[in-house]
């Protein structure tokens, strides 16, 4: 009986709360006399804001979604570029948002909550919020003295909305939920800074529904990944390929009719972009060739031992690596990924020109892959688990396109050590053709750039 009374009481309380407090005509925004329009739309018609400081609430004014459960990497930023100095304020831990807001959105100052540390590790417990508010108050006063005008942008129904007013900001603009309904996710070509590198295993937005689906799939994924691994390592291609297709693998092959003649004395050099560690294996599956070999700039010892095709580690010594590739080409076909590392986004890293010096028979291969739950690549994690995570997906998909080959004249001149230009022309040409086939953008970024950004090292994997 008491439970029913509590339920009825709670229901009545929620009814009156929603009807009276949340009704727009009963709601009052506690604004001071110096505060202006309650809507953020006023910013769009505002005069030049470059001399002013813009302070915004990250959760309320920056994010399209009202929930903090998913990560907000690709959400729209409404106020970028308007203020002379932009300050992001958040109740999230500073370490979670600092790098993203500063590096990709150009936010000069980020004020987040600090986390307590135990033995050099974050404990997950936040520091006292009063320290956070005290620092914000000092920051507002400093900005008022330096710029003379501070504008605040925040969510209308935020329970901490009095915070900005207590620091006497010159203007406060509010973002309502009705405003957010008209927001659109920012297109990739309008990002303040291109998002080329990112790490982590999850390939889905971790909403509650997606997370539940992930945990429900986990038991089946373990069994399926084990079966796929055993089949790929032990069965001949005539049996392994149908089994993998039955288990959910999707492979699409597009072959140009003008492929290199099989009468060549040396093997064919397949030059592909790098999506996952399994790129050479998928080329082998697509062509149904078991004698294909692959060279790689970095490979864990476990992956090297388990690879169903022969893999050779390059030393980053130009002369030594060139000789090794020529020796392998005399034994048969060879796959090389001149980017030197994987890239998840639709970009191509700079192609190393080494491949242009070792063969006249070059076939560019455009590769794309798609996963459901897990990325099969990592920069900061254990690389030995990369293939395993890829195999855990229910429907991993690969698209392999063999493009027009690059022959003779242009490539053969690359062997002349005095001609340092032609090999770069060939490398850039191959990169351009692959990028055009996939719709990817070519960049001059390298493996070193990726690992310095994501992992703080040069990307060399320990052989142990």
Query: What are the domain boundaries of the chain?
Result: 31-190, 208-454
pLDDT number for residue 79: 37
pLDDT number for residue 3: 46
The CA-to-CA distance between both ends of the chain, in Å, stands at 67
CB atoms within 10 A of CB 202: 14
pLDDT number for residue 246: 93
Q: What is the pTM of this model?
A: 0.72
Q: Which residues contact 28 (CB under 8 A, 6 or more apart)?
A: none
pLDDT number for residue 395: 93
* 46 vs 36: CA distance, rounded Å: 11
Per CATH, is 208-454 categorized as 3.40.1130? yes
Q: What is the mean pLDDT of each run of 10 residues along the chain (464 residues)?
A: 47 48 43 43 54 68 56 36 69 82 80 85 81 74 70 66 59 74 76 82 86 92 94 90 92 75 72 93 89 84 81 86 91 92 93 88 93 89 88 94 74 48 85 95 91 74 50
Per CATH, is 31-190 categorized as 3.40.50? yes
* 76 vs 54: CA distance, rounded Å: 17
pLDDT number for residue 43: 52
3 state DSSP class of 333: coil
């Amino acid at each position: 009986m008491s439970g029913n009374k509590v339920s009825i009481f709670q229901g009545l309380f929620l009814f009156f709360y929603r009807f009276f407090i949340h009704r727009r005509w009963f709601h009052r925004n506690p604004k001071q006399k110096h505060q202006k329009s309650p809507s953020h739309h006023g910013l769009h018609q505002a005069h030049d804001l470059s001399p002013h400081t813009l302070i915004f609430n990250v959760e309320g004014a920056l994010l399209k979604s009202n929930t903090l459960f998913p990560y907000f990497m690709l959400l729209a930023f409404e106020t970028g570029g308007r203020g002379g100095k932009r300050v992001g304020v958040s109740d999230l831990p500073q370490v979670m948002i600092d790098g993203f807001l500063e590096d990709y959105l150009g936010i000069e100052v980020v004020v987040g909550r600090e986390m307590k540390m135990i033995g050099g590790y974050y404990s997950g417990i936040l520091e006292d919020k009063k320290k956070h508010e005290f620092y914000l108050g000092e920051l507002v006063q400093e900005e008022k003295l330096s710029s003379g005008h501070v504008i605040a942008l925040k969510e209308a129904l935020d329970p901490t909305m009095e915070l900005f007013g207590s620091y006497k900001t010159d203007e406060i603009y509010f973002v309502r939920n009705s405003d957010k309904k008209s927001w659109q996710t920012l297109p990739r070509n309008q990002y303040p800074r291109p998002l080329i590198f990112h790490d982590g295993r999850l390939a889905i937005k971790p909403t509650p529904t997606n997370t539940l689906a992930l945990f429900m799939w986990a038991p089946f994924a373990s069994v399926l990944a084990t079966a796929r691994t055993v089949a790929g390592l032990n069965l001949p291609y005539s049996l392994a390929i149908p089994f993998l297709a039955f288990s959910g693998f999707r492979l699409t092959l597009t072959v140009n009719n003008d492929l290199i003649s099989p009468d060549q004395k040396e093997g064919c050099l397949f030059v592909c972009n790098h999506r996952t560690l399994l790129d050479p294996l998928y080329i082998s599956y697509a062509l149904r060739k078991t004698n294909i070999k692959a060279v790689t700039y970095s490979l864990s010892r476990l992956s090297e031992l388990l690879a169903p095709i022969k893999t050779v580690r390059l030393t980053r010594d130009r002369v030594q690596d060139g000789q090794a590739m020529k020796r392998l080409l005399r034994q048969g076909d060879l796959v090389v990924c001149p980017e030197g590392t994987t890239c998840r986004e639709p970009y191509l890293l700079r192609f190393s020109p080494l491949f242009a010096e070792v063969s006249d028979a070059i076939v560019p291969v455009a590769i794309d892959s798609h996963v459901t739950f897990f990325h099969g690549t990592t920069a900061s994690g254990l690389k030995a688990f990369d293939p395993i995570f890829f195999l855990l997906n229910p429907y991993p998909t690969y698209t392999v396109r063999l493009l027009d080959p690059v022959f003779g004249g242009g490539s053969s001149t690359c062997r002349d050590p005095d001609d340092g230009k032609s090999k770069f022309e060939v490398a850039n040409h191959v990169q351009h053709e692959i990028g055009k086939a996939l719709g990817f953008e070519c960049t001059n970024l390298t493996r070193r750039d990726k690992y310095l950004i994501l992992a703080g090292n040069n990307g060399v994997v320990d052989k142990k």
